[in-house]
A and B are shown apart, each in its own frame.
Chain A
Amino acid sequence: MAKKLIMVVDDESDIRDSIKIILTKNGYSVLTAINGDDCLEKLKKAKPSLILMDIMMPGMLVRDVLKKIKGMKIILVSVVRTTEAEKEDLLKNPNIVGFIQKPFDINELLAAVKKQL
């Protein structure tokens, strides 16, 4: 069975790398992108099963990036606490399936990922 591909989008390489190690260790294959533009560029070639995306990144606004992604599951990762109202608003986009608060517990991260795959 082919490993499921997960795309990690974060501007901080330490976070990107940490998540990549965790997910790889747990049997997923991981593709990384350093910002929204990079993400969209890479999505032309790859078709990940799930995207973990930081909510605040330089470059194209995440809000705009989200509009351009079609038919993908996306979990948003944020260091700022996302309020209930913001969550409700974001969930109107059917692609967004969850939220993870930074700094996360690796078990929480894995549980959230597993839930979607």
Chain B
Amino acid sequence: MVEGNFWAKLQKFLIGSIGRKLFFAFFAAIFLVTLLTYSYITLSEQALIDAIGKDEKFFANVIIEGIEKSGSDKVNQWSLFLQRSNIAGEIAKSNAEFDSMDNPLEYSLSVDKSWIYSPFGEDPKIVSDVINNSVSNELRKEILISEEIYGLPLFSEVFLTNKYGAVIAETSKTTDYYQADEAWWQNARNEGIYVSDIIYDASSKTHGLELCISVNDKNGSFAGVLKVVMDIRAFTNLIEDLKKNAYSKDGKKLEVEFITSDGKLMYSTAPHRPYEDISRRDYAQKVLSFGPPYFITYYDITHKEDLFMFAYANSFGEINFPNLGWSVITYRPANEVLEPGRELTRKGMIIFLTVILFIFVISLVTSFLIVQPIKQLKKATDSLGEGKLSQKVVVNSGDELQELASAFNKSLDVLIKIDSQQKQIDRAKTQFITITSHELRSPMTPMKANLQMLEAGYFGKLNKKQMDALEVIFRNTDRLDKILLDFLEISRIEAARLQFTFKKADLAKTVEETVRYMTGLMPEKKIKIKVEMDVLPIVECDSDRISQVLRNLISNAIKFSPKTGTIKVSAKDAKYYLLFSVGDEGIGISPDDKRHLFEPFFQVDKSFSREIGGTGLGLAICRGIIESQNGKIWVESEVGKGSTFFFTVPLVPIREIKPIRVLFSNREFAERQIEAQFKEVLGPIGALEFERLKESDGLSSEHFSDYVDGLVSQGIIDKQNATKFKDKVADIWFKGSVYASGWTESMESQSKMEASLKNDDAGTDKNKLNRGKSAP
């Protein structure tokens, strides 16, 4: 679950940004290179260690083989000695002599007694006879020859017994005459060859061992036993020689240890105590388990800080030399051996870090090179989405992104051209309206003057019918002039030439004055105008324009009120803006009419309004005035119960009046197109649904998208149609927003104001303010 979360989070993190994706890719690359390098270093060190270990194992084997071979050689040397005819003859002679005795054992024991117990210097004659006989001389001769050959007194004591165990030759006096009761004698007789454990000779301060070799006569029958005491330097010198020969060149500190089966250190090339018991050392236990040749690294053999690698080999015996369970251990300091490799590794690490740094820098630069143009494009596209056409993209990456940027710029140029054409058309339209209105008003001057002159009797008194006719002309001339004035007003609003005079004003006074003025205009109707007002702050605004809007709304209210109705005019302080309302008890406005109410030339009830008289431009002008000051205007109504118009005046006035479309608003055009889409997708209920959505949530892309998703989940339309639907509506908004930059700007400033109002807890009008917020 946690892992799942991790992957989900990682995915979310990566999806959010191309930069992160690139970083991850490079990070992965760096990780792989690191892994590879680490593996390489580890493997190469391991390979080096293995090679050295193999070498050491081999060397340990060579030493143990050499030792046993040497032992075997010594046994062979004495076996050959015993086969000499004169020696064999003397052994046979002695055996024959004993054979002829009635009781050779008894004889042997009696001689033994006198041999052992004779006082010092008073040995029986037999002792000197044996020491001085020809065989003994031969033995001494053999020892001397060996000393010459090996360069050291290898054999210290040799003696020979016949098959009854009686000593028949010796190099010096043995303690016993009768040897058949000794274990070594019996072992040698039974096994042919017996080698003793290492023994220490305190007098010569040397370690040695006994080689016991049985002798057979020419018929192959047991004839006697030879015993030789051999110095173990026969082996240890060999170790020194082999170590010197094998490792003299590389000068590495290779050490060799030679241990017995019970873990006694017979010899070490390193300083050591002779015959030290090392059986309790960890590695020694491994050695003494007599497994196959073994190799271990990083072992602290001396209990010092240094790491060691060591190998060992156990003895396996020779034909003439039994396996005594000896072992040879070789070891060397690992650090020293591995140092060249590690030096290489350090250099490798420097190269590796340089490469990593290089990759890192490259990844940063690459990310920057890729992400930067994309960010620029995104910024430019966002800016374009807001209707600003100024953001060009400068990308010199020389790749597809540059092509994209150049394509974007080309599109932008086209849009700028279209926009400028559109603005030109707008200007031309406004100019056209201005000029036309003036040109139309000029003829009004003599017409009106002459009508007045006729009425005033300048040209003679008129009769009643003539006066009535004149009245009709007069009234319609006035109406025509009003229309022309409204046109001029609109053209001014659209061209932002509408004159606003911002002064600190008490709008409560403005409301009162306007109400008084409007009451004065309707002496015949018995309509009451009720005013409800908070204490209003003094705000900087154009009170004349506010009055104009109020007049218009009150005049409308009067028109649509029943004869004895009441009109409620209110003004409230809503913290960030002032909220005005004008309510009547009239016929009300149907939702369908409500939608078009602020459009120019729209009249609620054609027949009714014509009677009342109006240009159909009043509310459009009101909207123009209010919206150009960043206010909002809307209506709430119930058919049959009356309508209430609301408008807001921001407390912070805008200094710059923005051009606003009154006559041909893109918003209305776009909304109609969207409504048409609704009808196309949903059939007859489309219009109702469109209205419902617009009323409840506004037509923002987010709400619209939610709405369409809702339709899909309810199974009203399928996904494919939903996507098409969304695309078409988005397209309509896009065109609308791009072509009508003036309009979107004003929408934008409104939504900014709405955003500032969202924190308003007094916001009873929040929903109303959100109405008409429709720009995606």
Residues of A within 8 A of B (CB): 12, 14-15, 17-19, 21-22, 25, 79-81, 83-85, 102-107
The answer for the CA separation of A14 and B447 in the assembled complex, in Å, is 9
Query: Which residues in A have their C-beta under 8 angstroms from that of B499?
Result: 83-85
Query: Which residues in B have their C-beta under 8 angstroms from that of A19?
Result: 449
Closest 8 pairs between A and B when the two form their complex, measured CB to CB = A14-B446, A103-B445, A18-B449, A103-B448, A103-B444, A102-B445, A106-B452, A18-B446
The answer for the CA separation of A31 and B176 in the assembled complex, in Å, is 181
The answer for the CA separation of A73 and B636 in the assembled complex, in Å, is 54
Query: Which residues in A have their C-beta under 8 angstroms from that of B488?
Result: 81
Q: Can you sample 18 A-B contacts with CB below 8 Å?
A: A12-B445, A12-B446, A14-B446, A15-B442, A18-B446, A19-B449, A21-B458, A22-B458, A79-B441, A81-B488, A84-B501, A85-B499, A102-B445, A103-B448, A103-B449, A104-B445, A104-B448, A107-B452
> Which among A81, A83, A104, A106 is the interface contact of B453 at CB below 8 angstroms?
A106
The answer for the CA separation of A21 and B446 in the assembled complex, in Å, is 11
Q: Are A105 and B452 in contact (CB under 8 A)?
A: yes
Query: Which residues in A have their C-beta under 8 angstroms from that of B442?
Result: 12, 15, 79, 102
With both chains docked as a complex, state the minimum distance between the C-beta of A9 and any C-beta of chain B, in angstroms.
14
Q: Is B481 in the interface zone, CB < 8 Å from A? A: yes
Q: Are A18 and B450 in contact (CB under 8 A)?
A: yes
With both chains docked as a complex, state the minimum distance between the C-beta of B442 and any C-beta of chain A, in angstroms.
5
Which partner residue on chain B sits nearest A102 by CB separation? Answer: B445
Query: Which residues in B have their C-beta under 8 angstroms from that of A12?
Result: 442, 445-446
Q: Are A25 and B458 in contact (CB under 8 A)?
A: yes
The answer for the CA separation of A18 and B447 in the assembled complex, in Å, is 9
Which partner residue on chain B sits nearest A19 by CB separation? Answer: B449
Extra 5 A-B pairs, beta carbons < 8 Å, given A15-B442, A22-B453: A22-B449, A25-B453, A80-B438, A102-B441, A104-B448
Query: Which residues in A have their C-beta under 8 angstroms from that of B501?
Result: 84
Query: Which residues in B have their C-beta under 8 angstroms from that of A25?
Result: 453, 458
The answer for the CA separation of A21 and B451 in the assembled complex, in Å, is 13
> Which among A81, A103, A105, A107 is the interface contact of B447 at CB below 8 angstroms?
A103
The answer for the CA separation of A104 and B343 in the assembled complex, in Å, is 108
Instruction: Tell me the B12-61 residues at the A interface (CB within 8 Å).
Output: none
The answer for the CA separation of A25 and B457 in the assembled complex, in Å, is 11
The answer for the CA separation of A107 and B449 in the assembled complex, in Å, is 10
Query: Which residues in B have their C-beta under 8 angstroms from that of A79?
Result: 438, 441-442, 445
Q: What number of B residues sit within 8 Å (CB to CB) of A?
A: 19
Q: Are B441 and A106 in contact (CB under 8 A)?
A: no
Tell me whether A102 and B444 are in contact in the complex, defined as CB-CB below 8 angstroms, given that A25-B458, A80-B438, A81-B488 are known contacts: yes
Which partner residue on chain A sits nearest B497 by CB separation? Answer: A83
The answer for the CA separation of A9 and B442 in the assembled complex, in Å, is 15
Tell me whether A103 and B458 are in contact in the complex, defined as CB-CB below 8 angstroms, given that A18-B446, A18-B453 are known contacts: no
Query: Which residues in A have their C-beta under 8 angstroms from that of B473?
Result: none
Query: Which residues in B have their C-beta under 8 angstroms from that of A15?
Result: 442, 445-446, 449
The answer for the CA separation of A12 and B442 in the assembled complex, in Å, is 9
Q: Is B394 in the interface zone, CB < 8 Å from A? A: no
Query: Which residues in B have their C-beta under 8 angstroms from that of A105?
Result: 448, 452
Instruction: Tell me the B255-314 residues at the A interface (CB within 8 Å).
Output: none
Please encode chain B, from 355 to 380, with 1 for each CB lying within 8 Å of some chain A CB and 0 for all others: 00000000000000000000000000
Instruction: Tell me the B424-455 residues at the A interface (CB within 8 Å).
Output: 438, 441-450, 452-453
Query: Which residues in A have their C-beta under 8 angstroms from that of B447?
Result: 103
The answer for the CA separation of A2 and B379 in the assembled complex, in Å, is 79
Q: Is B456 in the interface zone, CB < 8 Å from A? A: yes
The answer for the CA separation of A38 and B230 in the assembled complex, in Å, is 158
Query: Which residues in B have their C-beta under 8 angstroms from that of A80?
Result: 438
With both chains docked as a complex, state the minimum distance between the C-beta of A82 and any C-beta of chain B, in angstroms.
11
Query: Which residues in A have their C-beta under 8 angstroms from that of B445?
Result: 12, 14-15, 18, 79, 102-104
The answer for the CA separation of A25 and B511 in the assembled complex, in Å, is 43
With both chains docked as a complex, state the minimum distance between the C-beta of A34 and any C-beta of chain B, in angstroms.
15
With both chains docked as a complex, state the minimum distance between the C-beta of B511 and any C-beta of chain A, in angstroms.
23
Q: Which of B442, B448, B456, B501 has the most CB of A within 10 A?
A: B442
Which partner residue on chain B sits nearest A26 by CB separation? Answer: B458
Query: Which residues in B have their C-beta under 8 angstroms from that of A83?
Result: 499
Which partner residue on chain A sits nearest B492 by CB separation? Answer: A81
With both chains docked as a complex, state the minimum distance between the C-beta of B417 and any C-beta of chain A, in angstroms.
33
Query: Which residues in A have their C-beta under 8 angstroms from that of B450?
Result: 18
Which partner residue on chain A sits nearest B457 by CB separation? Answer: A25
Query: Which residues in B have their C-beta under 8 angstroms from that of A18?
Result: 445-446, 449-450, 453
With both chains docked as a complex, state the minimum distance between the C-beta of A78 and any C-beta of chain B, in angstroms.
10
Query: Which residues in B have their C-beta under 8 angstroms from that of A22?
Result: 449, 453, 458
> Which among B438, B449, B481 is the interface contact of A106 at CB below 8 angstroms?
B449
The answer for the CA separation of A14 and B442 in the assembled complex, in Å, is 10
The answer for the CA separation of A103 and B449 in the assembled complex, in Å, is 8
Q: Are B456 and A106 in contact (CB under 8 A)?
A: yes
With both chains docked as a complex, state the minimum distance between the C-beta of B517 and any C-beta of chain A, in angstroms.
19
With both chains docked as a complex, state the minimum distance between the C-beta of B451 and any C-beta of chain A, in angstroms.
10
Which partner residue on chain B sits nearest A107 by CB separation? Answer: B452
